[in-house]
Amino acid sequence: MNAVAGSTRGALTVAVLAGGRSSEHEVSLSSGAAVREGLISAGHEVRWVEIGRDGIWRTEDEPLSTTPGTGLLGVDVVFPALHGPFGEDGTVQGMLETLDVAYVGSGVAASAVSLDKVLFKELMSASGVPQVDYVGVREDRHRRSGSEVLEEISRLGFPVFVKPAHQGSSMGIVKVTEAARLAEALDSAFVHDPLVIVEAMARGVEVECGVLDRPRAERSAATGRALASVAGEILYPGDWYDFSAKYTVGGMELRVPARISETASERVRELALKAFLEAGCDGLARVDFFIDGELVLVNELNTMPGFTPTSVYAKLMAASGVGYPELVDRLCRLALERQAEQRAYSY
């Protein structure tokens, strides 16, 4: 697989946003710290902006005020290393658009769609992307028509996974093995989100694939718009990939390349790119799959995956020829290129 060429252009000043109001606050701080070090290693100047659990933006321990149309701290580009609601869901992206500053990653619509697990699956279904069977449940409907909802879910078979629709990092997920536990699991998920997704249990192995946009000058019929990484297989000791497995040292192992057939590997890369494009993503994404023999099912797409050097996305890109400093540099250059293109349009 061909690596993406690194940039030799001058240094940038980059604001790294980290923290945020969501339950993934600490994960975001770890991602942001790693991004900061990667950018420094790539020769860039970094301004650290930490968003507290109270939602206040601070830089150098002082509250940060912003004015629409004036950018942010005079930087060239913003790297929002934020996960979950109030950061990865289009809200911060909309604010950055209002500030008129270039930023890494997907825009408002793609961010919002991709973090909404139900809406994302509906979009993938309309696009012909194979995926796990699911039922979306809104809290108000569950309160009004609980028996009807439970009957719909039971048609998926057991076990099922009950998930808040807008959470990442396996937050709030409950595995349910019998119908008698469904109502309790739904109530638990509704504590986090008024929209819940219930998914059938998929057989086979869990595989992840990273996607990285190419600069316009490097796109061709042969290379395509973006690079899809080698597929990586997720190994963990429990019976599902929960928060502990993701974030406890030694809780999971990434095997690269995944132990799947070449046909399945090609299908993973093909569907990763298709999901990325159909969702309208920019810059980067990590797409997660279930693989059972030659059957490849898309699970979800993350527009801002974990970003430490030991995170899955960074490891997948490194295995595909894109080292960490080059990766964060490339993402900033792509953000500037996208902003320049958008400014060429008359709105």
Helix ranges (H only) for 248-298 are: 262-278
Sign of CA dihedral 18, 24, 29, 33: negative
Q: Is 156 exposed, middle or buried (0-12, 13-18, 19+ CB in 10 A)?
A: middle
> Three-state SS across 230-253?
CCEEEECCCCCCCHHHHHCCCCCE
Q: Within 13 Å of residue 194, how many CA atoms lie on the same side as its CB?
A: 3
286 is catalytic: yes
Q: Which of 114, 169, 265, 299 is catalytic?
A: 169
CA distance 64 to 216: 34
| Residue 92 contacts residue 22 (beta carbons within 8 Å) | no
Which token pair is 331?
């993402």
45 is catalytic: no
36 is catalytic: no
Name residue 45's beta-bridge partners. Answer: 13
Q: Which amino acid is at 51?
A: I
Q: Which of 24, 206, 208, 213 is catalytic?
A: 24
Collapsing DSSP to helix, strand or coil, 125 comes out as helix
Q: Which of 154, 188, 204, 247 is catalytic?
A: 247
Q: Which of 286, 330, 333, 338 is catalytic?
A: 286
Name residue 162's beta-bridge partners. Answer: 174, 198
169 is catalytic: yes
Q: Which of 23, 229, 302, 311 is catalytic?
A: 302
First to last CA, the chain: 39
133 is catalytic: no
CA distance 227 to 213: 6
Q: Which of 89, 242, 288, 329 is catalytic?
A: 288
300 is catalytic: yes
Q: Which of 111, 306, 311, 313 is catalytic?
A: 306
Show Cβ contacts of residue 155 under 8 Å, excluding neighbours closer than 6 positions.
none
Q: Which of 242, 300, 326, 329 is catalytic?
A: 300
Q: Which residues are catalytic?
A: 24, 169, 247, 286, 288, 300, 302, 306
